[in-house]
Amino acid sequence: MLLGLCAALAPVGGLAGCPPAADRGAERAELLAGLAAAPDEESARALADRLWRLWTTAPDPLSQEWLDEGMDRIRMADYAMAERILTELIAWCPGFAEAWNQRAFARFLKGDMEGSLADIARTLALEPAHFGALSGRFHVLMALGRPAEARAALRAALGIHPWLVERHLLAPPGREL
């Protein structure tokens, strides 16, 4: 339904393209600073949840519908449809980092590791502090048998979110993962 809506309206001028996202840079910076300094896991979780809400807020209602539908399809394990919906969202709104991140997740779950890595790279180009994308990069690289690169990705994620659940997956210095 959503896929057809954009396709039907765009050629006749019904849709002009994705609008720019609202400037939430100050809120983002405040949340990231708080997250880096969080004294405990509970405080960090609350701040991380707020960041996720910020990241998953699309710039317009149509993009929000696509994102929500894509994420619902991921939850239903319908990864191919999730990828298709999120690809449409990316075509409509290429500057929306979370669209790329969610497609990376769908591709990872589908087993398309290279596609997932490409989408993670785009996510991070748009939102360098996306600890979820960095954590995803860790998991993809581990699945590809590239532990040194995976550890670097996890260290980068922990530099942003020190209480990330995956922190326990990073072996102490001198021990392999």
Query: Is 56 buried (19+), middle (13-18) or exposed (0-12) by CB count in 10 A?
Result: middle
Q: What are phi and psi of 28, to 5 degrees?
A: -60, -50
pLDDT at residue 5, as a whole number? 46
For the cut 50, the answer to whether the pLDDT of residue 9 exceeds it is no
Q: How confident is the model at residue 175 (pLDDT cuts 50, 70, 90)?
A: low
The residues spanned by each domain of the chain are 39-166
| N-to-C CA span, the chain | 44
Evaluate the CA torsion angle 72, 168, 156, 52 in order and state its sign.
positive
What's the CATH number for 39-166?
1.25.40.10
50-101 pLDDT, tens digit each: 999 999 999 999 999 999 999 999 999 999 999 999 999 999 999 999 999 9
Query: Is 25 buried (19+), middle (13-18) or exposed (0-12) by CB count in 10 A?
Result: exposed
19-47 pLDDT, tens digit each: 988 899 999 999 999 999 999 999 999 99
Q: What is the mean pLDDT of residues 91-114?
A: 98
